[in-house]
Amino acid sequence: MRRFLSAVTLALLTACGTGGTLEPTQLSAIRLYNASFDSPAVNVFLRGVILSQGLAFGHGQFHVFVQPGSTLIEVRTLTDDVLLDFTAALTAGSAYTFAFTGPTAALVPVFLLDDTTAAPTGNFKIRLIHLAPLGPAMDLYVTGVSDDLNSATPVITATAYTKASSYVNLPVGSLRLRATQAGTKTVLWDTTDPANFTTGQGVSLFLIGKAGAGGGGAPYQGQLVADHS
């Protein structure tokens, strides 16, 4: 199920004193993701302006263009109670992910720099973002659909909760992704269908825990989100 909202550009961002519209290289981009397992739908504000409405657990919003600089991000209930505030430094020409995880009563911010450039020809690139509070550190395997995991080597290792791995470049194809407990072959999450990766593509794999009170652990859910298509 597609859980990311459509991309929007925030209003008409104009260059002060010139009357011209700012180019993307003069702006920052930010996307959102709600990984708080017991979270109600929330609103997210940036510099006091609403950026996302009714963002539910396991849902996100694609990159939007915003002014660079010091930025206050607030996660609020639909009745306007502040659950989390976080100050981010946004650089012009860069793209970011702002996610929040943990229980609603103690949200944990996760702020990441995204790589939106193309992977080398014949390759795609992938990283793992671990947002499951009860999940152990994880390895990621990317293999052929029917390959034996016991003879495979992880492409990403020991990614801990609230952390993101580095991007890795891999040959394109129709592939199977499996996340395991770090250092073992114990599968914690597995693609149900092969994922088809094309040349130049870049993706992030968001790993989250189950929803509801006492959630945040197994069964885990994974979602591939494009950083570069």
The CA–CA distances, whole Å, from 17 to 42, 66, 171 equal 36, 18, 47
**114 vs 96: CA distance, rounded Å:** 5
Q: Tell me the domains of the chain and their CATH numbers.
A: 4-114 (2.60.40.1120), 123-228 (2.60.40)
Pair 112, 80: CB distance under 8 Å: no
Pair 67, 104: CB distance under 8 Å: no
**β 156-159/138-143 pair status:** antiparallel
Residue 45, classed as helix, strand or coil, is: strand
Q: pTM for the complete prediction? A: 0.91
Residue in this structure with the two tokens 């970011």, named with its chain if needed: 96
| pLDDT per residue as tens, the chain (229 positions) | 335 544 443 433 433 444 556 677 899 999 999 999 999 999 999 999 999 999 999 999 999 999 999 999 999 999 999 999 999 999 999 999 999 999 999 999 999 999 999 999 999 999 999 999 999 999 999 999 999 999 999 999 999 999 999 999 999 999 999 999 999 999 999 997 899 999 999 999 999 999 998 899 999 999 999 999 7
